[in-house]
Amino acid sequence: MTYMAETTDLMTIGQFSSLSRLSVRMLRHYDLHAVLMPEHVDSLSGYRRYSSQQLQDAADIRNLRDVGFGVSAIGILLAARHTPAWTNALRVQRESLIEEQRAAQGRVSLINRLLDQGEHLMSITVSRTTVPTMTLACLRGIVPTYSDEGQLWERMMPALGAQSIAPVGPCGVIEHDDQYTERDVDLSIFVPVAAGTTVEAPLELVEMPARDCLVARVVGPYDQITAAHDQINATIAAEGLRIRSDESLAARAFNIYLTTPAEVSAEELVTEVYEPLA
């Protein structure tokens, strides 16, 4: 009689599935991996039975699954509930999902450009120009990706203010890497300054000579800059031009920001992308 009373207080796998919102298939999967095992399994029939106290475990498992944790991680995290390890794991997963969200939004933006390419191409115009000599106050650093350029500006702006340095034109960025790189990008951000200006660390002064360049003028969000490089490359091929390939800083591609996000909306941004020519 005691055995019957104990088992009749338990739920069938179907009842537990209905209450927990986990399918019978997934409950069997979690049992197989020792993540959520039934309170009792009949030795003859193999029927699984669950207790009401296991519903909280089921809820935690479902939530962890829905935010992207695999079955092995779920088992570890269940044992770490109410500890710093649980909180830290969730925070790390949140950052990973935010990064995935950014990447997905970038892919959506690219699809939109491909679907409506004519309109976006109209927002990018390519011309050839001679860039005059410039005196630049620069800050060089390595950032995780191109989109993290703002980390350098957060360091540079206070330095400019502390040294009472006033820009005389729009700011920009120079790319030091010989190739496009996905991580650890070497950049110098800059503001043009009057001739004779002096700077102190972490800033450095750079004198840039006049240069013959192709320039793509981009109106709109920064995610069009790659398309601007594509149009520059198409112009180089169509006109038989050669890019400058020496090791000097003057040979590096650079951008000039005629407007910034602090001044205008993303759709109103104006950026010039420069490629020095041989």
pLDDT score of 36 more than 90: yes
The average confidence (pLDDT) of the chain is 90
Measured CA distances, 134 to 57, 174, 215, 275 (Å): 65, 13, 16, 16
Same domain, 124 and 75: no
First to last CA, the chain: 94
135 and 218 in one domain?
A: yes
Alpha carbon separation from 262 to 106, 160, 217, 221, 257 (Å, rounded): 21, 17, 19, 13, 11
85-98: average pLDDT = 94
Amino acid at 70: G
Identify the residue with better confidence: 169 or 120. 169
Mean pLDDT over 259-270 rounds to: 91
Report how far residue 255's alpha carbon sits from residue 173's, in angstroms, rounded to the nearest whole number: 5
Q: What is the pLDDT of residues 98-151, one digit of tens each?
A: 989 988 887 887 787 667 655 545 578 999 999 999 999 999 999 999 889 999
- Degrees to nearest 5, angle at CA 166 with 165 and 171: 105
- Residue 96 domain flag: no
Find which of 6-15, 102-111, 115-124, 157-166 is predicted with most confidence, using mean pLDDT. Answer: 157-166
- List the one residue out of 249, 251, 271 whose CA is nearest residue 259: 271
- Confidence (pLDDT) at 134: 95
Under the banding of pLDDT at 50, 70 and 90, the label for residue 4 is very low
CA dihedral for 29, 22, 40, 56, sign (positive or negative): positive
Residue 173 lies in a domain: yes
Q: In the chain, what percentage of residues exceed pLDDT 90?
A: 77
Tell me the Ramachandran region of residue 42: left when phi exceeds 0, alpha when psi lies from -120 to 50, beta otherwise: beta
Q: In which domain, by residue range, is 50 found?
A: 2-79
Q: Looking at the DSSP assignment, which residues form a beta bridge with residue 255?
A: 173, 273
Count of domains in the chain? 2
Evaluate whether residue 62 is within a structural domain. yes
Q: Contact, 195 vs 133, CB < 8 A? A: no
At 22, which CATH number? 1.10.1660.10
Residue of 254 and 267 predicted with greater confidence: 254
49 and 163 part of one domain? no
Q: Among the three residues 79, 105, 128, which one is the final residue of a domain in this structure? A: 79
Q: How confident is the model at residue 2 (pLDDT cuts 50, 70, 90)?
A: very low
As separate numbers, helices (DSSP H) first and strands (DSSP E) second, the chain gives 9, 11
Helix, strand or coil for residue 168? coil
